[in-house]
Amino acid sequence: MHFSASQAAGFCLLTALAWAVPASHRAAAQDVAPRPLAGTIIEDPGPLPAPLASFEGGLIQAGHCASCGTGVLGGGLGRLGGGGLPAADPLDPVGCPGPHCVPGRLNSHCPEHEGFMSRLLTGLYECLMVPDPCYEPGWRPIMDVGLFTECARPVSQQRIRMGSQQHMTNYTRNSFRMAPFPIGPIPGNPLYYVNSYANTYEASLYTEISAGNVAATFDVPFVLTTFSDNGSGGSGFGNMVVGTKSTIFDSEFLQVGMSFKSSLAVGLPISGLGNGLTSIEPGVLVGMKISEDMFLQLNFNEWIPFGGVPPYPGAMLIVSGSLNRKLWQANPAVPLFGAIEYAGYYFQSGGYMPYQTIASTTNIPFVSSSGNAYQQMGPSLRLFMTEKLDMACGAMFALNPGQGSWGDQQYRLEFRFRY
């Protein structure tokens, strides 16, 4: 191989420059590890050096987040400016977000107080305005134990429920369960306008499709009804209920949700399978943590009917609650919960056809419902077998059967699968 004079001069110059670099720099360059090839496994480099491992208990804070320091109702006026708070102290995260607002650290504006009311108000502020670094919002088994009370937090699930309502009296009240004559059940005896009582048996498929804090619900029942005096009744699909559910407030102590249900007149009224009208039911769903093993569910719903046979349909307030407690567990993943449940139906208007002797069918009796209520209470049990599957059984008993009831005895058995 032959080089020209110019090529030989260039080669010599590059060689001289390379050897002019200090030896320490050449050694450092030789110690650099080669870049790993794609698909290779990189071994764990081991524990952090001592200066880093001693910082914040071994956790390196990468920075602060914009939402840190705000509770479920916000972080107070100090975040907006003009809130009357003093300028942020570098050692006190009053002006959060700031250098001291980091995940896992509380942002409290409340110093210690003396006196009952001061401590109470401070505790409420801490609960509602200051985030809990240990609480992760989500559905938990103890929140959703009741059979007659809904959970405040949506969860995607399917439920198969079987139930019965025994000895329903004044069952046409407000057209809530059944419509009155002439579109409702036919009288069982010419001397009486309605049957003395009715029994119903129901199997339903409930679907809840959740996306975060919002869910859509569908409930399709199949009903069998029997009446006391002549054994009449019928079977078929009952009124289908569709609705929505959402969580608007979520903390470890308190959850608040909203629900809205619409009942579609699918069931045949003359057989006692439906009430012959359309209704809506807006509601507020509440969950409250009492202790690690005890939880309270509350529902407040307003039932509003449209149509039917006037003047019988009427609005009512429905209040239900379930006090849940863990009773036993085969292991931490298989807990058994017990609950005491209550349901009250407070009639605001409307009325019903009483069970009584009549002279002729042209003289239609009417009894006002206003100021009365149906109330019931009973126990239930729920076993969570896996994180996706649980089963429950429970009963309700009328507390004031003299005014009538949706069943002196009510029983439910259900299976749920979450996905």
Under 8 Å between Cβ of 285 and 241: no
Annotate 52-76 with b (16+ C-beta within 10 A) or e (fewer). eeeeeeeeeeeebeeebbbbbeebb
User: Ramachandran region of residue 28, left (φ > 0), alpha (ψ -120 to 50) or beta?
Assistant: alpha
Retrieve residue 203's tokens: 């199997």
pLDDT for the residue 103 = 45
Under 8 Å between Cβ of 384 and 141: yes
244 CB-near residues (< 8 Å, 6+ apart): 214, 215, 216, 217, 259, 260
pLDDT for the residue 104 = 45
pLDDT for the residue 37 = 56
Architecture of domain 141-418: Beta Barrel (2.40)
Cis peptide bond prior to 182, omega within 30° of 0:
yes
As a whole-number percent, the residues of the chain with pLDDT over 90 amount to 51
pLDDT for the residue 98 = 46
Low-confidence ranges of the chain (pLDDT < 50): 14, 16-19, 21, 24-30, 32, 50-72, 74-105, 107-110
Annotate 203-235 with b (16+ C-beta within 10 A) or e (fewer). ebebebebeeeebebebbbbbbbbbbbeebbbe
Looking at residue 80, what DSSP letter applies?
Answer: T
Across all residues in the chain, what is the average pLDDT? 79
Structure confidence by residue, pLDDT tens digits, 262-282 = 999 999 999 999 999 999 999
pLDDT for the residue 119 = 78
Q: Which amino acid is at 387?
A: E
Burial class (CB in 10 A: 0-12, 13-18, 19+), 281: middle
pLDDT for the residue 365 = 79
d(CA 393, CA 391) in angstroms, rounded, equals: 7
Retrieve residue 195's tokens: 């049957």
Please write down the long-range contacts of 384-388, taking CB distance under 8 Å and 24 or more positions apart.
384/141, 384/334, 384/335, 384/336, 384/337, 385/334, 386/333, 386/334, 387/333, 387/418, 388/417, 388/418, 388/419
CA distances from 184 to 170, 232, 350 (A): 13, 12, 16
pLDDT for the residue 36 = 56
Looking at residue 228, what DSSP letter applies?
Answer: T
**What is the reported pTM?**
0.73
Under 8 Å between Cβ of 295 and 287: yes
Closest CA to 198 of 211, 185, 182, 215: 185
143 three-state secondary structure: helix
Q: Where are the domains of the chain?
A: 68-129, 141-418
Strands 351-352 and 334-347: unpaired
Burial class (CB in 10 A: 0-12, 13-18, 19+), 115: exposed
Angle at 295 between CA 294 and CA 299, to 5 degrees: 155
